[in-house]
């Protein structure tokens, strides 16, 4: 299907050549009302382009909401008070709109902080030692000795590649 802009252009060209509204509509396969509106728009504006301000207006992602969201994020940087859900509630918009404000308008990447185990120096040392032991085992070729267990009997088998 052709774009509305190209369709309007075709209507205006045909009208300038002296074709009637019904004839243009039949030729292009559209209603006479569409032809009439396109000609009326051209006579009013002098162009077949869309009128300025056409289309849905931003309500949730307005500049005011974007600015308020930015101020809220700068006031308190802790993650619990800056959740997307709480931001949406404070702004009075939906969660998806708040997420779009963060991602598209403020160029932020919302994420959820997860609690993790805090590693002590002793734990880090133990991890390092275990990693070094694995590296030694792999370098000596002992990694092919695998023990299979089902918490019952233990079978020590040598693993062989096919």
Q: What is the pLDDT of residues 94-147, one digit of tens each?
A: 999 999 999 999 988 867 777 788 889 999 999 999 989 888 887 877 666 656
> Residue 23 has what pLDDT?
92
DSSP 8-state assignment for residue 151: S
For residue 149, give the 3-state DSSP assignment.
strand
Per-residue DSSP letter, 30: S
Q: Tell me the percentage of the chain whose pLDDT exceeds 90.
A: 25
Question: 45 pLDDT band (50/70/90 cuts)?
Answer: confident
* pLDDT tops 70 at residue 73: yes
- Asked if residue 58 lies in contact with residue 100, where contact means CB atoms within 8 angstroms, the answer is no
Residues pairing with 154 in the sheet: 149
Instruction: Output 140 or 7, whichever has higher pLDDT.
Output: 7
Output the CA torsion sign for 37, 38, 43, 46. positive
Residue 49 or 104, more confident? 104
Average pLDDT score over residue span 142-155? 58
User: Do residues 24 and 15 lie in contact, with contact meaning Cβ atoms separated by under 8 Å?
Assistant: yes
DSSP conformation class of 146: E
pLDDT for residue 128: 93
| Residue environment code for 41-68, b if the CB has 16+ CB neighbours within 10 A, otherwise e | bbeeeeebeeeeeeeeeeebbeeebbeb
Per-residue model confidence (pLDDT) at position 143: 64
């Amino acid at each position: 299907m052709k774009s509305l802009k190209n369709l309007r252009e075709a209507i205006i060209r045909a009208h300038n050549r002296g074709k009637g509204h019904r004839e243009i509509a039949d030729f292009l396969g559209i209603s006479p009302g569409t032809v009439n509106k396109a000609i009326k728009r051209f006579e009013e504006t002098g162009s077949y382009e869309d009128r300025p301000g056409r289309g849905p207006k931003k309500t949730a992602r307005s500049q005011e909401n974007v600015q308020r969201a930015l101020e809220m994020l700068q006031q308190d940087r802790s993650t619990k008070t800056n959740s997307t859900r709480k931001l949406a509630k404070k702004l009075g918009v939906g969660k998806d709109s708040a997420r779009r404000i963060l991602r598209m308008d403020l160029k932020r990447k919302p994420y959820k902080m997860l609690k993790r185990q805090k590693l002590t120096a002793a734990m880090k040392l133990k991890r390092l030692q275990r990693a070094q032991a694995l590296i030694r085992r792999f370098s000596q070729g002992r990694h092919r000795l695998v023990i299979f267990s089902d918490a019952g009997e233990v079978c020590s088998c040598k693993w062989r590649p096919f």
